[in-house]
Amino acid sequence: MLGASTMKVALAALSCGLAASCYHTTLQLDAGQLQPDSAATDTALPTGGFITGDVDGVTIRAELQAVSYWWSGLQQGWLEADAQNAEWQWVLIVRNAPGPACGYVVLQPVNVGTMAFATYGIDGACNIDLTAAAPEVGDVLEGTFTATLDQVSGPMLKQVTGGSFRVPRIAGQP
């Protein structure tokens, strides 16, 4: 059985006909137009963050959407830090406590589903030194890292040296 909304869309499509254009057809919604909440705050991501590292001698610096956050797939006390540029995206999973540790480091091409590199492969390894934790939203997560990244879909390894990050913490996944 079709729901009321599905039925309305189906009837509107029938009223246009198969060959006719529906460009000017207006569909009425049950609740009408949603009005913006005037009390809502701007949800733009903070700027100024980055993740950078030398990958086999080539610096990959990412400053777009550079943030850290907790999400329900992570254990309490851990954060994910992300940043990307036009070609690459860095993802760091770190324990949110100052000091040396290892979590995960991922480097993946933007808009390409293959050739990702990560420390969770058989030969992957990392050392992350968190110099500033971000216990609260608005705090800045900061540290350095090195890693051996294992190609997710193949045998290639990449060495990351001189890695560093400085990303503000936001309330949730962007």
**Could you report the per-residue pLDDT of 24-66, keeping only the tens digit for each?**
333 333 344 434 444 444 456 778 899 999 999 999 999 999 9
Residue spans of alpha helices (H) in 4-158:
4-16
Cross-strand partners of 7: none
**Could you report the per-residue pLDDT of 87-99, keeping only the tens digit for each?**
999 999 999 999 9
CA 155 – CA 123 distance, rounded (Å): 9
Q: For residue 31, give every residue at least 6 positions away whose Cβ sits within 8 Å of its Cβ, in sequence order, or none.
A: none
Cross-strand partners of 80: 69, 93
81 is written with which tokens?
A: 């830090």
